[in-house]
Structure 1
Amino acid sequence: MVGEYELEFADPDVTGQLGVLWGKSAAKAAGRMNLLICHLLDTAAVAEQIWDHYLAPSTKAWLEDVAGAPGYGRRFFAWICGVHDCGKATPAFQQMDEAGARAVREAGLTWASTGRQRWRHDQAGGKLIRDVLHEAGWADDQISWVWPLVAGHHGKFPSVGQLREPSLARGHLHGKGPEWRRVQSAVVEVFTRQLGFEGLKEVQPVRVPSRADQLHLSGLVVMADWIASDERHFPGIDQLRDVGLSVSRERAIKAWEELGLRGGWGTLAVPGNEAFHDRFGHGPRSSQVMVMDAARRMGGPGLVIVEAPMGEGKTKTALLAAEILAARFGADGVFVGMPTQATSDPIFSQVRQWAGKVAPGLESQVALLHGKRRFNREWQALLEQAGDSPDDIYGTVDEDAMYGMSPFDTGEVPERRAPAEWFLGSKRGLLTPLVVGTIDQLLFAATRTKHVMLRMAGLAGKVVILDEVHAADVYMAQFLLEGLRWLGQARVPVVLLSATLPPAQRRALVDAYLAGAASRENPPALDLPSPDGYPSVTAAWMEDSGPQRLVDHCASWREDLSVRVEVLPEPAATSAPAASTDAVVTLLADRLRHGGCALVIRNTVDRAQETYQALRAQFRDDVLLLHGRLHAAHRADRTETALARLGPSQASRRRTILVATQLAEQSFDVDADILVTDLAPIDLLLQRIGRLHRHSGVPRPVAVQEPCVVITGFRDSGSDAPWILPASEVIYDRYLLLRTAAIVCGADTSSWNIPGRVPALVADVYGNTPLVPDAWAEAERAAYADWDADQQARADSAQKFLLTRFKEHENTTLEGLHYAETKGDDEVVQAIVRDGDPTIEVVIVHKDVNGYTTWTGRRLGVNGEVPVDLLDEVLGGTVRLPAKLAAVAENELQPLDGWRDHPWLRHSRALKLDTQGRASLDRWAVRYDTQLGLVVDKGQQ
């Protein structure tokens, strides 16, 4: 029988006890206690809304398969979400509120004092549901995967040993005696019958889902719980006669509408090639057709690797491929991961425009997800139009206090142009239907951290696009490979973009995805040849017969550029300190004598600052500086100016020299007439060369009409291995720099045909064939030994943070996943997935006799209190300190007294500069210069 069941139990005493067991105290349920059975039904009703209006078709399909029959998936999903809090039917939880505990005792459910012994209700729930399902006759393999979802709904999956009640409690935390056992069974049974099941036995699934699907489902349980825990939409109901599924459904429908939650595009038709013109206003290039064709030919959801030169249009290619893969395999959104915050911002605009063409209004469901998004003008404008308050939606609150809810008004906003505010709260960003952010968001999903299930729930059901994957170093690659393994197991289509990949890296990416898809540590071997040409596509997927692949290539849309390669030897260390920059000034004075635009890329901030000063003395306002030690406001303004002055304009351009660090290396759409760059590994060097003559039709003065890269930062002695800038070796390792230098200095490298020669150049440097001159051979062997040991050490150092511990990839449940968890907030996790010495962000303020001012000179409160209209200005002064100052800053810098209760600033360290813009940190003297950015004065070290 399906329909409304009476809440009365066969035993009237148990019915009375169901009427006093509380799930939310009056303080957390809008002034009236909320019965436990009501909260379970509220959560189940929210789950029904999630099923109807949010879940991807692919997610519904596997849930139906697990449940065992068409139509059962929705009801099973509501059950697994609702039963999550059954562990509150224990003294461990019921004693936590004085008024609630008194009523429970009066109803005959008693317990002895346990002193200071405590037991989390999520862990108690894991034990309770195991016992109840065992009594109901469930199979052990089904119980084994279900109980961790209950025990882990507060963000961490315990081991079965952690479900044991503290020994000194002697049963009084779980509930001792038959009275407690009856009421605990009754809670689960009554809830189950309310959902239309005849009994618990009927709920039992027929198939155990994959571990990745379990993690996905766990995240959805948390999502449903958090929504149903919002007292504004689910105020307390303390009378059993007023509780029922129909009541909860009414509450859930109203809450869903008021929160404005929704999914992505739903079901799509497979687009043809003509859709490319509809989306972007022009027809596809041959490489784009090739990738779209590959996406149509794949026999299942899989991994697509697109390798194409800079400017080929890989982002547009990926978005159309995502449409095809979503239509074919039931995805309902997209995550686009970029290498940096700066590269995420322009793609955010592009994805919004594309989404609006896929479905009118869908552009409103695109979220920008990175730590500096409030400084993105488009994002900020969308929030202001929607009436959102950044102070509220970005602030994090104690999850146990209100389950992550933030205190803003969530009434409907007509024609809202930003995602629902609920998605913008702490830890929920990836749940937004369409997301653009840094690749870190995916890397976070591969870490053993609290609430990792929310990250998986935000990725599963989408198509995942990652750009510039070649930029992941060996440390980051461990998290990328781990993430791909989980995405492969979850059948998530993934599109990876790169200028080019070394064959070994391409193979590793494919192997990781297929290992997940096969749910085996070592899947059947796949013959994976390297593409024969460039651009290329490599696709891999799993079928019943084993792993499958498709490899193809085509001609680039434009002819190769013949790029002249010159070497500007780095002066000897004994030369005058300015000799290096003087050589660059002399070179550019000659090449830009008739005008033109130059890009100068230095490998360190200090070197960029020195170069900028030397060039500015000669070229004045024609010189721009961009690096990571500019504060947030200056960096945003400089980036915008650089893109405007060196962008793809067809009009006459004024002479401009942009001095930058690696920020200009990736997804930075500037067009330079000449490039001067420090030596870097070949793939990164080629990325930099991708900024040369990037757009056709740009007028170029006669002296720079031929594309030219001038490589410096090293010096070839002619008889021994070259001297390489020590700072570059610290960043990139000597081995790859030596092999790159060998190619740069080779007899046949006076010019490179770009992009045609890109794959061969990368394969040469990253391969193991002899490359360096005989005179360098011994230096190369020593460098390789150091590099190989370093690579292994860095890979090993990531292992302790990975989501799956060593030799646990073939585990079938989530039990014990968070044993020895990685702890910390998002900033700590970001440091975990990015290798290198830790760095710290600080907020610049100025201090004078009257108190504090912002970096622009506007007055703050006497203790630094920030008026609402100055918050963005204060945060605009955020700057990252160099790693060598991190330890000192941790010890010496604290939030201002007026920031300690501020949702955005309470964890922000203030760098207090004097009226001259200077400060001392231990033995270091630092200053902030409006042109140079943060400067660490070498004379004060």
Structure 2
Amino acid sequence: MKDFTLNDCWAKTDPETGQPCLSVTEHCKIVGSVAETLLSRLPPLVANQLPQGSVALVAAHDIGKLTPGFQLKAPLWPWHQTLKESIIADSLTTNHAIVSQWHLQNHSALRGNKKSQYWLVSTGGHHGSYPLACRTMKQAPYEGGNNSFLQLRNELTELLIQSFGSLPLEIAKHEFERIHLLTGFTIFSDWIGSNADWFPANISTDDKSLRDRSHEVLDSLRWNPRIHQQRSFGHQFTPQAPETFSPRPIQSALLEAADSPGLYIVEAPMGMGKTEAALTTAYQRWTQGDERGLYFALPTQLTSNKIHDRITTFLENILDDDSTQTLIHGNTWLGDKKSQTICPAFKEMNPDQPENEANDINEALRWYSSTRKQLMAPFGTGTIDQALLAVLPARFAALRYFALAGKVVVIDEVHSFDPYMSALIDRLIRYLIKAGSTVIILSATLTAQRRAELVQAAGASERSQPQDYPLITKVPTGSTHATHVSVPYQLAPQTVNLRHQHMHPDIEDEFWESIADKVEAGANVVVIRNTVALAQNTYRQLKARLSSRIPDENIGLLHSRFPQNERQTNEDYWTGILGKDDAKRPQGSLLVSTQIVEQSVDIDADCLITDLAPTELILQRIGRLHRHQRPRPAGFEQATCYILHPSTDWEGDAETVKDALSPHHWIYPPLTLWQAAQTLAPLSTIQLPQDIRPLLEQAASCQVPAKASSALCQFHDEHSRKRSAMHGTAALRDVFNASAIDDNEGTETRYGIKPSALLIILPSAPVEQGGNVIWQLPDGSTETHRVGEFNYPLAKALQTHATRIPAYLVKAQLSNCPDWLKQHIESGVLAVQADDSSELQLVHNSESATHTLSYRHDLGISYEKNESISHFSDPEDFWF
């Protein structure tokens, strides 16, 4: 029995009163108008990937709200009791997205056209995931035995078709990327149209009013950033003196090649200007092509933080109007750069700005500050993880994909990823090329095999594999073959001396004493160790030798086991004094670090010491050696890199060799360490950049001999199995064929990430008193919060002072964690440090503690296993 009409059925309620305030019809018309306006403003390559009829489909995304399971969610709806009495309410379908998809696939235009029904997956997935049951839809949603809503859905569907055109009839089978893009288009349109500030309940819903309002909203979000059309290369980077900054050969070559959207792979030595090459090419695509916006993706939070400021300055030089830039990774909420306004440099000289424009940019800033909306901003810098989440079964992956569509996407340091992430990057490239994006890949140490895989991801192949270096590889969108551009360079060859040091216990003291002598002689020495424990031990040894010979501030340690705020301070300090600025450079310093400085970090060493690592990473680390042209201390005019080899001959059984390799083989596959040793150990010098490609290819082609030792045979088999497992796991984590996961970086973007905890060191334990928790924070301040209530300043302070550690170290404390702590920091553990000791006393401790944790401001967190506890764990695993 139907006693109500379309106008009676609600889609939105007033958040304060709970009263229905916007009908399903009004909401669908609003969202359809937004989609229609948005479609008209998309880059043509993006718009062309959306099927004809997509606007009507987006408008119809919420017709499934016309169902008892949804309408009964508002107790104050006038028809609530009447409807409730007319149905059998048990097991009602409440997911209105599924009802929408079911109804549309049974529409007369689509009922017999199953190959077109695949477009409707976007409707069922518009709440952020693709439910497995939602794609088959072989069973009708249960509506309590009341079929009256079927007529209402039919009525609204026809009304929307009259307003926005027909539903998509194009064949959609196997159009996975386009379906995913359509889902993102639907979500974005829905989020805009659902904003009550922009589209209040009393808004006029005639076509013109909605169209005008939709344009106003997109204008306020700076959806189409305005780029200054005539900025020379010098004006892009040094507008104060543009004539002094001309493009280098790699930059000129990429600009000449980038005459169309597509994939561009740039292989060039460290410090040759690849970042500027990517940025100036992005500018060219914005001004001469249809692409808009930028996402610059890097391997780590540190590298993205460092490059973010450079991109900010670049944007200030080329924008024609205020816009928004975001920094996107898991810890950006702790700083002030999560979302920021970028003002063109010329506006600083003419600051007059209409008030409505100022309000618009503030509105954009607020909107893009939401974590799930950051990637939607016109310009962004962040981790590669944030982009990979667009092609994983993560919540709102489709929105991320739509956010990247049509942009210039730069992926830096692409060589640094394992087979799992490499497979995901290949998938990302395939999706981005399909969505009209231009992808620029940057690497100094790319093998020919990996380059061929990247080309294949763009739907093409290489007719040849040139050995030239530097090299640009170009795959225009739609092309089936790659072309290569050799780049003439005028860099003077740099000779790097290699010194191979086998770390026998009886000579270690003598070796480290010789390194201390170099520091005292005025050299700025950088030591890169493969694990935190090795770095801490090396720091202890060298600090003991140097503490009376050079100032303490010239001796430092960098790794991930410092509290977030201290790590940031340390990194800023050392990149400052060992960067380009000669005035800050000390006369003799020692920096011990883990891999966090091996790429995309501007640190310049007079002398470098590194653990044995895969060949491409050794070359990256050498990129920190004599990085800039400057006078060197006497005796260090020639670049010298010491490679620390584990004391092993690679013969014998696997366990013996692994013991000798420990802990390095927990970080890098033993086979790649053997390949690096075979490639580099015979060499006393290398020439850069000429030797980079030959060394990479030699290491990659280094095969285990037919009559190899049992250790090498086992390492080869383990390596092959691990690669296969990584590729297989990546294939299983497909956008449509796996259960949705939370959209957090690291959850599925990294292979084998082990459980971790956040350790916060406090002066004293929190006190529960009268329903309150009183905190004394590390900076001396005090915070109080009511039990059960969330205190944002407290949560931020805890996160800022937290250190990530393996969860097995504090397993018992995690189990005993109170709810008021879980509410403020996920997987958090508290510790108290006495003034006279480095040992930490864990709050919520228990008898089963397996490890003793210690902390020093110069060392960070260290730990020792309690001898009385029987507990097995990996000695150091991935943690650096």
Q: Per the shorter chain, which TM-score range?
A: 0.7 to 0.9
Farther-moved stretch of structure 1 (448-457 vs 710-719): 710-719
- Matched to 1:931, the amino acid is D
Could you tell me whether the CA contact under 8 Å between 2:747 and 2:753 is conserved in 1?
no
Matched, 1:312 2:234: no
Q: For residue 806 of structure 1, what is the aligned residue in structure 2?
A: none
Residues 486-565 of structure 1 aligned to structure 2 (within 5 Å): 486-514=431-459, 526-541=461-476, 543=478, 547-565=480-498
Q: CA RMSD of the aligned region, Å?
A: 3.5
- Matched to 1:726, the amino acid is S
Paired residue secondary structure (1:494): strand
- Match among 858, 870, 884 for residue 781 of structure 2: 858
Residues 628-707 of structure 1 aligned to structure 2 (within 5 Å): 628-651=560-583, 653-696=586-629, 698-707=630-639
Q: For residue 80 of structure 1, what is the aligned residue in structure 2?
A: 57
Distance 1:347 1:40, change over 3 A: same
Distance 1:382 1:910, change over 3 A: farther
Q: For residue 786 of structure 1, what is the aligned residue in structure 2?
A: 718
What is the CA distance between 1:489 and its match in structure 2? 2.7
Q: For residue 127 of structure 2, what is the aligned residue in structure 1?
A: 154
Could you tell me whether the CA contact under 8 Å between 2:227 and 2:321 is conserved in 1?
no
Could you tell me whether the CA contact under 8 Å between 1:539 and 1:551 is conserved in 2?
yes
What is the CA distance between 1:601 and its match in structure 2? 0.5
Distance 1:650 1:825, change over 3 A: closer
TM-score (normalised: structure 2): 0.86
Farther-moved stretch of structure 1 (475-484 vs 317-326): 317-326
What is the CA distance between 1:676 and its match in structure 2? 0.7
Distance 1:859 1:756, change over 3 A: same
Distance 1:820 1:594, change over 3 A: closer
Could you tell me whether the CA contact under 8 Å between 1:840 and 1:889 is conserved in 2?
no
Matched, 1:236 2:169: no
What is the CA distance between 1:50 and its match in structure 2? 2.9
Matched, 1:365 2:324: yes
- Matched to 1:755, the amino acid is P
Residues 299-338 of structure 1 aligned to structure 2 (within 5 Å): 301-327=261-287, 329-338=289-298
Matched, 1:114 2:89: yes
Instruction: Spell out, residue by residue over 1:215-250, the C-alpha distance to the aligned partner (whole angstroms, 9 max, x if none).
Output: 122112111212222233333359xxx754345446
Residues 765-844 of structure 1 aligned to structure 2 (within 5 Å): 765-768=699-702, 779-803=711-735, 817=736, 819-826=737-744, 830-844=747-761
Farther-moved stretch of structure 1 (264-273 vs 210-219): 264-273
Matched, 1:60 2:47: yes
Could you tell me whether the CA contact under 8 Å between 1:264 and 1:365 is conserved in 2?
no
Which residues of structure 1 form unaligned runs of 5+? Answer: 1-12, 68-75, 385-409, 516-525, 804-816
Could you tell me whether the CA contact under 8 Å between 1:645 and 1:654 is conserved in 2?
no
Higher relative contact order (CA 8 A, sep 6+): 1
Instruction: Spell out, residue by residue over 1:909-940, the C-alpha distance to the aligned partner (whole angstroms, 9 max, x if none).
Output: 13232435613472111122211111113566
Could you tell me whether the CA contact under 8 Å between 1:645 and 1:653 is conserved in 2?
yes
1:602 and 1:872 map into 2 onto residues whose CA distance is 31
- Match among 348, 360, 381 for residue 436 of structure 1: 381
What is the CA distance between 1:842 and its match in structure 2? 3.7
Instruction: Spell out, residue by residue over 1:839-896, the C-alpha distance to the aligned partner (whole angstroms, 9 max, x if none).
Output: 3334433424865322233223277999766664432212110364375564344564
What is the CA distance between 1:349 and its match in structure 2? 1.1
Paired residue secondary structure (1:368): strand
2:379 and 2:751 map into 1 onto residues whose CA distance is 24
Distance 1:312 1:81, change over 3 A: same
- Match among 459, 462, 487 for residue 407 of structure 2: 462
Could you tell me whether the CA contact under 8 Å between 2:602 and 2:624 is conserved in 1?
yes
Could you tell me whether the CA contact under 8 Å between 2:298 and 2:383 is conserved in 1?
yes
Q: For residue 285 of structure 1, what is the aligned residue in structure 2?
A: 248
Matched, 1:98 2:75: yes
Paired residue secondary structure (2:76): helix
1:644 and 1:732 map into 2 onto residues whose CA distance is 30
Farther-moved stretch of structure 1 (111-120 vs 460-469): 111-120
1:745 and 1:355 map into 2 onto residues whose CA distance is 45
Could you tell me whether the CA contact under 8 Å between 2:221 and 2:363 is conserved in 1?
no
2:339 and 2:229 map into 1 onto residues whose CA distance is 33
Q: For residue 400 of structure 1, what is the aligned residue in structure 2?
A: none
Paired residue secondary structure (1:907): coil
- Matched to 1:114, the amino acid is A
2:110 and 2:730 map into 1 onto residues whose CA distance is 42
Aligned residues: 827
1:412 and 1:895 map into 2 onto residues whose CA distance is 45
Q: For residue 911 of structure 1, what is the aligned residue in structure 2?
A: 830
Q: For residue 925 of structure 1, what is the aligned residue in structure 2?
A: 852
- Matched to 1:725, the amino acid is L
Matched, 1:730 2:666: yes
Paired residue secondary structure (1:356): helix
Distance 1:842 1:716, change over 3 A: closer
Distance 1:744 1:83, change over 3 A: same
Could you tell me whether the CA contact under 8 Å between 1:845 and 1:910 is conserved in 2?
no
What is the CA distance between 1:797 and its match in structure 2? 3.1
- Matched to 2:6, the amino acid is L
2:827 and 2:709 map into 1 onto residues whose CA distance is 50
- Matched to 2:680, the amino acid is V
Q: For residue 245 of structure 1, what is the aligned residue in structure 2?
A: 207
Could you tell me whether the CA contact under 8 Å between 2:530 and 2:664 is conserved in 1?
yes
Distance 1:361 1:738, change over 3 A: same
What is the CA distance between 1:142 and its match in structure 2? 6.7
Paired residue secondary structure (1:683): helix
Could you tell me whether the CA contact under 8 Å between 1:571 and 1:715 is conserved in 2?
yes
Paired residue secondary structure (1:680): coil
2:407 and 2:64 map into 1 onto residues whose CA distance is 32
Farther-moved stretch of structure 1 (878-887 vs 672-681): 878-887
- Matched to 1:919, the amino acid is Q
Could you tell me whether the CA contact under 8 Å between 2:330 and 2:744 is conserved in 1?
no
Could you tell me whether the CA contact under 8 Å between 1:839 and 1:882 is conserved in 2?
yes
Farther-moved stretch of structure 1 (526-535 vs 459-468): 526-535
Instruction: Spell out, residue by residue over 1:276-298, the C-alpha distance to the aligned partner (whole angstroms, 9 max, x if none).
Output: 666776111112212222212xx
Instruction: Spell out, residue by residue over 1:635-678, the C-alpha distance to the aligned partner (whole angstroms, 9 max, x if none).
Output: 10000100111111234633211110000111110100000111
- Matched to 1:540, the amino acid is V
Q: For residue 180 of structure 1, what is the aligned residue in structure 2?
A: 149
Q: For residue 190 of structure 2, what is the aligned residue in structure 1?
A: 225
Paired residue secondary structure (2:502): coil
Distance 1:253 1:417, change over 3 A: closer
Q: For residue 518 of structure 1, what is the aligned residue in structure 2?
A: none
Instruction: Spell out, residue by residue over 1:669-727, the C-alpha distance to the aligned partner (whole angstroms, 9 max, x if none).
Output: 0100000111101000010000000000x231112111100111413559989885311
Paired residue secondary structure (1:598): strand
- Matched to 1:96, the amino acid is K
Instruction: Spell out, residue by residue over 1:397-430, the C-alpha distance to the aligned partner (whole angstroms, 9 max, x if none).
Output: xxxxxxxxxxxxx997558489522122132221
Could you tell me whether the CA contact under 8 Å between 1:531 and 1:552 is conserved in 2?
no
Distance 1:590 1:137, change over 3 A: closer
1:105 and 1:633 map into 2 onto residues whose CA distance is 59
